[in-house]
Amino acid sequence: MNMLKKIGIIYKPDATNVLTVCEKIEKFLRNKQILTIVSEINNPSKDIDFAIIVGGDGTILRAARFYAPLNIPIFGINVGRLGFLAQVKVDEIEDGLTKLLEKEFKIDERLMLSLNNSTNALNDIVIKNSNSSKTVEFMVFLNGKPVCNYLADGIIIATPTGSTAYTLSAGGPVLEPSLEAIVLVPICPHTLNARPLVIPANETIEIRSKEEKDWFSVFVDGQIDINGQKSVIIEKADVKAKIALLNKDDDGFYTVLREKLNWGIDPRA
């Protein structure tokens, strides 16, 4: 099956120069006799075989949650700041699209998380006290068994994809994206012995508040805010995000770490 017969161009309306970029992509693809459908991320088209996402990482995350259940691959073009999930920048569009049409890419299937069996996340699920000025004692259970308590400002449950986002800023480890693992990281823990925890992806995670008066606010990929939770269940989602990655001569993920996060680079340089 040729997944590039009908390509959606999905964009974030308020991104800088986004319409100009979309027009450039659409013109290039139509010149190659590829059917295109342009739509906003707020109302993305379902009637496509492949989605090109024009925006930053936030737009790509939204697209991933939408298209994963539809089994539609996504390809990111960065018009934002970091663009960690994107494959090409604006000045690389023609080269990137040419590689796509010549099938010089692979589909990378990324682990996603399911919150209470209803909402999926590609990066992370963050749990905080609904009263943002107060710490909470979070009780962590794996497969119904108590594991540890974190007295902290919050707790992050992240995928390998999300390990380079909020989790990294909170002191968590970097996980290679193909790993079937989940990382739990406390946010500003109020003890010196609290450490991040990496677990197999097939574990069922339950987070409860120790105090009856404490309620949770839950944030999915930093975009969906769910309030009024007393406990949450987080599991491996039954769908995966499908991200198109161009074939490159470098070492892929580790090159991205060096180029975008300055990994292993002397800060004095």
What domains does the chain contain, in order, with CATH numbers? 6-111+240-261 (3.40.50.10330), 113-236 (2.60.200.30)
| Res. 250 pLDDT band, cuts 50 70 90 | low
How many C-beta atoms surround the C-beta of residue 252 within 10 A? 15
List strand residue ranges (DSSP E) for the chain, in order: 6-11, 35-40, 50-55, 74-78, 88-89, 105-110, 113-115, 119-121, 124-129, 136-142, 145-152, 154-158, 181-187, 197-200, 205-209, 216-220, 224-229, 231-236, 241-246
| Res. 98 pLDDT band, cuts 50 70 90 | very high
Tell me the residue type at 108: D
Arithmetic mean of pLDDT, 211-216: 83
Question: What is each CA distance from 219 to 37, 52, 129, 225, 229, in whole angstroms?
Answer: 31, 26, 11, 5, 11
Which residue, 76, 78, 79, 84, is CA-closest to 105?
Answer: 76
pTM for the model stands at: 0.91
pLDDT digits (tens, 9 = 90+) for 168-198: 999 999 999 999 999 999 999 988 888 999 9
What is the rounded CA–CA span in Å between residue 11 and residue 54?
5
| Res. 267 pLDDT band, cuts 50 70 90 | low
**Positions marked catalytic:** 57
